[in-house]
Amino acid sequence: MQLDARIPSGPIEAAWDKARFNMKLVNPANKRKHSIIVVGSGLAGASAAATLGELGYRVSCFCFQDSPRRAHSIAAQGGINAAKNYQNDGDSIYRLFYDTVKGGDFRSREANVYRLAQISVNIIDQCVAQGVPFAREYGGTLTNRSFGGAQVSRTFYARGQTGQQLLLGAYQALERQVQAGTVTMYPRTEMLDLIVIDDHARGIVTRNLVTGEIDTHLADAVILGTGGYGNVYYLSTNAKGSNVTAIWRAHKKGALFANPCFTQIHPTCIPVSGDYQSKLTLMSESLRNDGRIWVPRKKGDKRAPDEIPEEDRDYYLERRYPSFGNLVPRDVASRNAKYVCDEGRGVGETGLGVYLDFADAIQRLGRKAIEDRYGNLFEMYQRITDEDPYKVPMRIYPAIHYTMGGLWVDYYLMSTIPGLFVVGEANFSDHGANRLGASALMQGLSDGYFIVPYTVGDYLATNKLERVDESHFEIRNAVACVEQTVQKLLSIKGRRTVDSFHRELGKIVWEYCGMSRTAQGLENAIQQIRQLRDEYWQNVNVPGSGEDFNQSLEKAGRVADFFELAELMCIDALERNESCGGHFREEYQTAEGEAQRDDDNYSYVAAWGYRGYGNPPDLVKEPLDFEYVHPAQRSYK
Partner 1 sequence: MSATLVSVRESRPARFWDSTNGQKIVMGITGAILFVFVIAHLLGNLQVFLGPEALNAYGRFLRGVPEILWIVRIVLLAAVILHIWSSIKLGRRKLRARPIGYSRKENIASTYASRTMYWSGPIILAFVIYHLLHLTAGIVHPGFDFVEGDVYHNVVASFQVWYVSAWYIFSMVLLGFHVRHGAWSMFQSVGINHARHTSILKNAAAVVAVLLVLGYVSIPLGILLGLVK
Partner 2 sequence: MRLTLKIWRQQTRSASGKFVTYSVDNVNSDMSMLECLDVLNEQLIENGDDPVAFEHDCREGICGSCGFMINGIAHGPLPATTVCQLTMRHFRDGQELVLEPWRAKAFPLIKDLVVDRRSFDRIIAAGGYISVSTGSAPDGNAILVPKESADRAMDAAACIGCGACVAACPNASAALFTGAKIAHLGILPQGKPERDIRAIRMVTQMNAEGFGGCTNIGECIGVCPKEIPLEVIAAMNRDYFRGSWRERDNVVTTLRPFTEWSTGSKLKVDPHSGN
Q: Closest Cα to residue 243, out of 3, 502, 581? A: 502
State residue 413 phi and psi, 5-degree precision.
65, 25
What residues contact residue 554 under an 8 Å CB cut-off, 6+ apart? 64, 190, 209, 241
The yes or no reply on residue 172 touching partner 1 (CB under 8 A) is no
Residue type, 355: Y
The footprint of partner 2 on this chain (CB under 8 A) covers a number of residues equal to 108
Q: Which of 27, 88, 141, 179 binds partner 1 (CB under 8 A)?
A: 179
The yes or no reply on residue 185 touching partner 1 (CB under 8 A) is yes
Interface segment toward partner 2; rule CB under 8 A; list 9-17, 48-56, 245-253, 564-572: 48-56
Interface segment toward partner 1; rule CB under 8 A; list 182-190, 372-380, 498-506, 615-623: 182-190
Q: Which of 330, 558, 576, 634 is catalytic?
A: 330
In Å, what is the CA distance from 389 to each residue of 11, 357, 397? 51, 8, 15
Closest approach of partner 2 to the CB of residue 294, in Å: 23
Kind and range of the H or E run holding 414: none
Closer by beta carbon to partner 2, 127 or else 573? 127
Contact yes or no for 601/577 (Cβ under 8 A):
yes
CA pseudo-torsion sign 89, 113, 597, 529: positive
Closer by beta carbon to partner 2, 270 or else 508? 270
Footprint (CB under 8 A) of partner 2, residues 173-192: 173, 175-176, 178-179, 184-188
Q: Which of 5, 23, 178, 327 binds partner 1 (CB under 8 A)?
A: 178
Interface segment toward partner 2; rule CB under 8 A; list 63-71, 307-315, 332-340, 429-437: 63-71
Contact yes or no for 193/116 (Cβ under 8 A):
no
CA angle 405, 127, 167 (to 5 degrees): 50
What residues contact residue 328 under an 8 Å CB cut-off, 6+ apart? 149, 317, 321, 336, 636
State residue 189 phi and psi, 5-degree precision.
-135, 120
Closer by beta carbon to partner 2, 165 or else 528? 165
In Å, what is the CA distance from 250 to each residue of 194, 195, 203, 260? 6, 9, 11, 15
Q: Which of 147, 262, 358, 450 binds partner 2 (CB under 8 A)?
A: 450
Which of partner 1, partner 2, none sits in contact with 181, Cβ below 5 to 8 A by type? partner 1
Distance CA 525, CA 465 (A): 44
Q: Which of 137, 360, 372, 534 binds partner 2 (CB under 8 A)?
A: 137
The yes or no reply on residue 481 touching partner 2 (CB under 8 A) is no
Which of partner 2, partner 1, none sits in contact with 488, Cβ below 5 to 8 A by type? none
Known active-site residue 95 = no
The yes or no reply on residue 27 touching partner 2 (CB under 8 A) is no
Footprint (CB under 8 A) of partner 2, residues 211-250: 211, 213-220, 237, 239-241
Site string for partner 2, 370-409 (x = CB under 8 A): ----------x--xxxx-----------------------
CA pseudo-torsion sign 8, 9, 10, 11: positive
The yes or no reply on residue 469 touching partner 2 (CB under 8 A) is yes
CA angle 191, 40, 611 (to 5 degrees): 50
The yes or no reply on residue 122 touching partner 2 (CB under 8 A) is yes
The yes or no reply on residue 136 touching partner 2 (CB under 8 A) is yes
Footprint (CB under 8 A) of partner 2, residues 277-316: 277-279, 281-282
The yes or no reply on residue 191 touching partner 1 (CB under 8 A) is no
Interface segment toward partner 1; rule CB under 8 A; list 179-187, 294-302, 346-354, 516-524: 179-187
Closest approach of partner 2 to the CB of residue 171, in Å: 7
Interface segment toward partner 2; rule CB under 8 A; list 317-325, 355-363, 397-405, 446-454: 446-454
The yes or no reply on residue 453 touching partner 2 (CB under 8 A) is yes
Closest approach of partner 1 to the CB of residue 187, in Å: 8
SS (H, E, C) 253-289: CCCCEECCCCEEEEEEECCCCCCCCCCCCECCHHHHH
Q: Which of 33, 488, 611, 637 binds partner 2 (CB under 8 A)?
A: 33
The torsion angle over the Cα atoms of residues 355, 361, 362 and 367, rounded to 10 degrees, is -110
CA angle 377, 382, 386 (to 5 degrees): 165
The yes or no reply on residue 158 touching partner 2 (CB under 8 A) is yes
Contact yes or no for 45/223 (Cβ under 8 A):
yes
Written as one string, the DSSP assignment of 512-570 is: HHSSSB-HHHHHHHHHHHHHHHHHHHHHB---S-SSS--HHHHHHHHHHHHHHHHHHHH
The yes or no reply on residue 449 touching partner 2 (CB under 8 A) is yes
Query: What 8-state DSSP symbol labels residue 447?
Result: I
Footprint (CB under 8 A) of partner 2, residues 530-559: 541, 543-544, 548-549, 551-552
What residues contact residue 29 under an 8 Å CB cut-off, 6+ apart? none
Closer by beta carbon to partner 1, 217 or else 288? 217
Q: Which of 90, 139, 140, 181 binds partner 1 (CB under 8 A)?
A: 181
CA atoms lying within 13 Å on the CB side of residue 470 = 8
Closer by beta carbon to partner 1, 181 or else 274? 181
The yes or no reply on residue 46 touching partner 1 (CB under 8 A) is no
What residues contact residue 564 under an 8 Å CB cut-off, 6+ apart? 248, 533, 613
Q: Which of 147, 157, 186, 355 binds partner 1 (CB under 8 A)?
A: 186
Residue ranges binding partner 1 (CB under 8 A): 178-179, 181, 184-187
Active site residue ranges: 330
